[in-house]
Structure 1
Amino acid sequence: MVNPNQIVAVVDDDESVCRAIKRLLHSEGIRAETFSSGDEFLNTLAAIPSYRPACVILDVQMPGINGLEVQRQLAKTGVPIIMITAYDDLAVRQAALAAGAAAYLRKPFNSAILFKAVEMAIDGSSPAPPATP
């Protein structure tokens, strides 16, 4: 169960995706903050050392720093990461999961899969849900 005081960070360059995920999480009582780029998210982490989301939902393909690079930079923090992408690539999926992603979801995904992935990522449950078809 997700603690209502926990925050999930959503990092995606598509504003409509950020809004949709934030609404979905809010409907389940989960607080979310959105970031339009990997750079913006990493800058926030650097500027506010006390900021630590319970989980990060991270788009793979973004301008500037892509999702895999953000994941690499977060590796030492232990923050669980759920990768999302509209352009599934087996090598990228394998790299993300090998680097410790809690889940890898292909857009569009349904809300039940998203909620389960977030819950499992935050609770540290395993195994991660499979990539969506």
Structure 2
Amino acid sequence: MQSPSVNLEERRTIVSVVEDDAAMGAALRDLLNSAGCEAIVFERGESFIRSGAASNCDVIITDIELAGFDGLQILGAEAIGKVPVIVITALTDHFLERRAVDRGCFAFLRKPFDPAILLEHVRQAAASR
């Protein structure tokens, strides 16, 4: 029996969101889901890393300032492999931005950001894989 062919262009982009602000996490989930992605939200960096979700997602969006395991640590975690990471923050700290870029973040956005710009970065990041 021949297995059915899979059209990869119809596959939903899976995005893991690591955001400790529940309202922001819900807003990002709703935005990503409305754009055709499948968004999974984690409130703690440790929970995200322990879940193994990085091995099944196409893009990671993380706040840089998280209690415990923060966004910079997520960027440096071996568990994320080569999954592109979009970093978001309300901070205006250029040193943190430089550190995130040096660790290989795909994009760095300051809150509040234009949702269309975030979605474009998600599209580009998923296409880069």
Higher-Rg structure is 2
Distance 1:40 1:22 in 2: 17
CA deviation map 1:5-45 (0-9, x unaligned): 33100001101111001111111111100000101101101
> 1:22, 1:116 → 2: CA distance?
15
| Letter paired with 1:10 | V
Quote the residue 2:40 is aligned against: 33
What is the aligned partner in structure 2 of residue 7 from structure 1? 14
Answer yes or no: is the 8 Å Cα contact 1:8–1:33 preserved in 2: yes
The gaps in structure 2 that reach 5 residues or longer are: 1-8
- What's the C-alpha RMSD, in Å, of the aligned pairs? 2.0
Specify the code of the residue in structure 2 equivalent to 1:101: C
- Which amino acid in the other structure matches residue 91 of structure 1? F
Q: Say whether 1:69 aligns with 2:73.
A: yes
Check the 8 A contact 1:4/1:29 in 2, yes or no. Answer: no
Q: How many residues align?
A: 121
- Give, as a single letter, the amino acid of the residue that structure 1 aligns with 2:94: L
Q: How far has the Cα of 1:85 moved from its partner?
A: 0.3
Question: Match of 1:128?
Answer: none
Matched, 1:113 2:79: no
Say whether residues 1:79 and 2:97 are aligned partners. Answer: no
Instruction: Tell me if 1:96 matches 2:100.
Output: yes
C-alpha contact (below 8 Å) 2:13/2:126 kept by paired residues: no
CA distance in structure 1 between the aligned counterparts of 2:57 and 2:35, rounded to whole angstroms: 17
Unpaired segments of 5 or more residues in structure 1?
126-133
Quick one: distance in 2 between partners of 1:56 and 1:105? 13
State the TM-score, normalized to the length of structure 1. Answer: 0.83
Structure-2 change in CA distance of 1:20 and 1:4 (3 Å): farther
How far is 1:99 from its partner?
1.2
Taking only the aligned residue pairs, the percentage that are identical comes to: 34
- State how far apart, in whole Å, the 2-side matches of 1:15 and 1:36 are: 7
Contact 1:25 1:115 (8 Å CA) reproduced: yes
Match for 1:23: what amino acid? D
Counterpart CA distance in 1 for 2:37 and 2:122 is: 10
